[in-house]
Structure 1
Amino acid sequence: MAPLRIGARASLMSLTQSAPILAKLAPTPMLLRPFSGEGGDREVNRAPLEEAGVFSQEIETALLTGEIDVAVHCLKDAPTHDTPGLTMAAYLERDDIRDCLVTRDPELRLDTLPIGATVGTASVRRTAALRAYRPDLEVVPLRGPVNERLRKLIEHDVDALVVASCSMERLGLRHRIGEWISPEIICPPLGAAIIALQTREDDMETRKKVIRLHDTNTEIEAEAERLVLQQMGGFCNAPLAGYCKTNRTGTTTTYTVRARAITDDGSTAIDIRLTGDDATETAMTACQRLVHHGGRELGRAS
């Protein structure tokens, strides 16, 4: 039997989150191929990245040319639109969408950080939210993989970090989390905490192998959030945030879609939140309202 060739970014984070996928696909023979990921985990300025899929182009090219059979993506970093010839064949069950605070002093929280404390993040979304919530803090651009950012914290380059809680948990660093930050304070990126498995559209054999990892609830939320990104012209590091949340009461299921646009300095935000029976329809209506209130232009205003 030919091995299933799986492509993932060559970062500690990507390889760590790929390991459980390999285990779940066993006993199928597999080969894991790491990719450098131009512009991904390298020491580059993420803030001005103004296109979707900048972290996944190399892997997608390998998938299209047949060098690999499956690409592992963090959905928030994947292309907003499906690349012709490729499809998201499976969405794994979603993890915690919240960001978290990591500090040198484990007793400190976002509300108790001293005035002037330095908080490291290269995310436009997080920076805008922090400036809106705690304008007295100094937000410091800090790039690179999570383990490198943690080293900067230990070396006293910054007082605190804001990172994705799912990243800390996947790396086995849950004990380092000082505070899970409410989405009402820092709204997550669309597609947060979702791992997607991408295949060639016509490769039915591989699609059958990975479909057993698929979570239907995550798919509904993921597709609603991708729709918001598509409609709003968003990308991974834009000042655009939101999520789709599944609500279950007895036998009734509804979906709450939140779409939030914010200026880079955090001074102005438009926040739309709607609940409906159909996630896609609710997401489309949320986009229409966000556009109506000027959300598409808001990120360019600063």
Structure 2
Amino acid sequence: MDMIRIATRSSSLALIQTQTVVEAISKRNRKTEFEIIEIKSQGDIDKKKPLWKLSEAGFFTSAIEAALRENQADIAVHSYKDLPIEAANGLVVGAVLDRRYCQDCLICKNKIKSLDELPKGGKVGTSSLRRKAQLLSFRPDLRCEPIRGNVHTRINQVEKGEFDATVLAYAGIERLELTDTVSFEFKPTEFLPSPAQGALAVQARANDHEVLKLLSAIDDAKSRVSSDTERLVLHKIKAGCHTPVGVYAKIEGEFLEIYAFVADENGKNVIRKKIKGQLKAAVKLADEMASELLKSGAAELLKNG
């Protein structure tokens, strides 16, 4: 293709992530040119409402998907964790890539090495029920308060003393070259990430075979398998993107370990499970994990949480 139009959010992080996709495509298609189409999502416009109070899916992605459907763009770049679990009508994920970091990290004005070092009753900024539930399960005394805005805005709020700390995805911090602000990284087997966290997803129209062929060349198998396995668990237990659920699929050679947790939003009731099996049986393992969670009361916990 001579020209590829790319729809993306307009934040600094989104544009950096889009550039990663541009570079991946350019390595294999040196004559291709790109047009970046910046779109403001509802999530970019409404920066005050806590994420867990949002009823609509696709808060950060629907406007971008609309541009793709209406042929205003050829592909769309997303943080995969932001895409609704239900498949988008007429669109497919043609490539998943660059999942180098899936873990969360803590940012604190005074560098610390663990949650134990936060002050008693410390105020932690997070708009994620998943993070809130896990923080409170480890430190019930903490006060988890909503925080919105881009990565720089959240870090600035911590540095100004509005919060004692905040928890963010390490992948975004690394892409923005802000790793010097990180106090410590959580182990993803202990503080579980959002399904597909850290991965980039590139959408295209399902009938655009030329674009899909091009995207297949940049698809990273490990990034896709781990991300899709985690998202399948979420789908099977009928949980949304903003629920207190974490899933981490760890690939080790020919084996796959899946860690999952479901909790109420205050972290008082928590279900944790772990299973291991053959990587080639990833879908079956995701089904088994979902079944184990449901048998342990995950549906009731999410309903009443």
One fold, TM greater than 0.5?
Answer: yes
Q: Offset at 1:293? A: 1.2
Partner of 2:274: 273
Aligned partner of residue 198 in structure 1, secondary structure: strand
**2:265 alignment counterpart:** 264
Q: Work out the CA distance in 2 between the residues paired with 1:89 and 1:271.
A: 32
What is the aligned partner in structure 1 of residue 111 from structure 2?
Answer: 106
CA deviation profile, 1:82-128 (whole Å, cap 9, x unmatched): 21211110110312111101111124532211212211111111111
SS at the partner of 2:124? strand
The answer to whether the Cα contact below 8 Å between 1:256 and 1:279 also exists between their aligned partners in 2 is: no
Q: Distance in 2 between matches of 1:88 and 1:44?
A: 30
Give TM-score, length-normalised by structure 1: 0.94
Structure 2 alignment gaps of length 5 or more? none
Equivalent position of 1:180 in the other structure? 185
**Structure-2 separation of matches of 1:271 and 1:211:** 35
Q: Does the aligned pair in 2 maintain the 1:129–1:186 contact within 8 Å?
A: yes
Aligned partners of 2:258 and 2:289 also within 8 Å: yes
| 1:301 Cα deviation from its structure 2 partner | 2.0
Give 2:127's aligned residue: 122
In structure 2, the residue matched to 1:292 is: 295
Q: Which has the higher helix share?
A: 2
Specify the code of the residue in structure 1 equivalent to 2:170. Answer: S
- In structure 2, the CA distance between the partners of 1:179 and 1:75, relative to structure 1 (3 Å rule), is same
Structure 1 stretches lacking a partner, 5+ long: none
How many aligned positions are there? 298
Map residues 78-227 of structure 1 onto 2, 5 A cutoff: 78-107=83-112, 109-227=114-232
For the aligned residue pairs, the C-alpha RMSD in angstroms reads 1.6
Distance 1:184 1:217, change over 3 A: closer
Aligned to 1:9: 9
- Between the aligned partners of 2:161 and 2:236, the Cα distance in structure 1 is 41
Mapped to 1, the partners of 2:34 and 2:288 lie a distance apart of: 43
Q: Which moved more, 1:59-68 or 1:105-114?
A: 105-114
1:18 aligns with 18
Structure 2 CA distance, aligned partners of 1:23 and 1:185? 34
Contact persistence 1:52–1:234 (CA under 8 A): no
SS in 1 for 2:43: coil
